[in-house]
Amino acid sequence: MSIEDRAERTETEQTLEQAYITTLYDRLDELRQRASDRRAAVMRQVGGTHAARTERDVLAVMYGQQLAQLDAAENGLCFGRLEFNDGTKSYIGRVGMFEIQHLVVETDELAALGAKMPAHPHFSW
């Protein structure tokens, strides 16, 4: 393999790696925007029963924590790659995108479940 071939192969690999990293950061930005929009929507809610206000506060905290996790994930999202003998590659970072996606899916499922549940009656003693 000539020096030119190696240089071209290296450049191609770097282009592919950059595309992968760009995809990760785009996904992170998408998840962060979704959590931010949902938190803003929750914060705009006013009034309601005591249970509704409590639920609103819990959701606001939950989305705030999710935003903090996503912000923390940006630094060191992907800082290395492992290449195995069988040709597979594994990327390393501080927080895996699978964990972030799983967190968002769980949150979405809980929100959908909450929307299907009947409202809690408000009891005054």
Indicate the pTM of the whole model: 0.65
60-113, pLDDT tens digit by residue?
999 999 999 888 888 888 878 888 899 888 878 776 544 444 444 444 554 555
- pLDDT surpassing 50 at residue 125: no
Neighbours of 38 (CB within 10 A): 20
Domain count, the chain: 1
**Would 122 be classed as within a structural domain?**
no
- Does residue 121 belong to any structural domain of this protein? no
Answer for the pair 64, 39: CB distance below 8 angstroms, yes or no: yes
In a domain, 123, yes or no: no
Asked if residue 41 is part of any domain, the answer here is yes
42 occurs within a structural domain: yes
Its domain, for residue 11, covers 3-116
Q: Are 28 and 74 in contact (CB under 8 A)?
A: yes
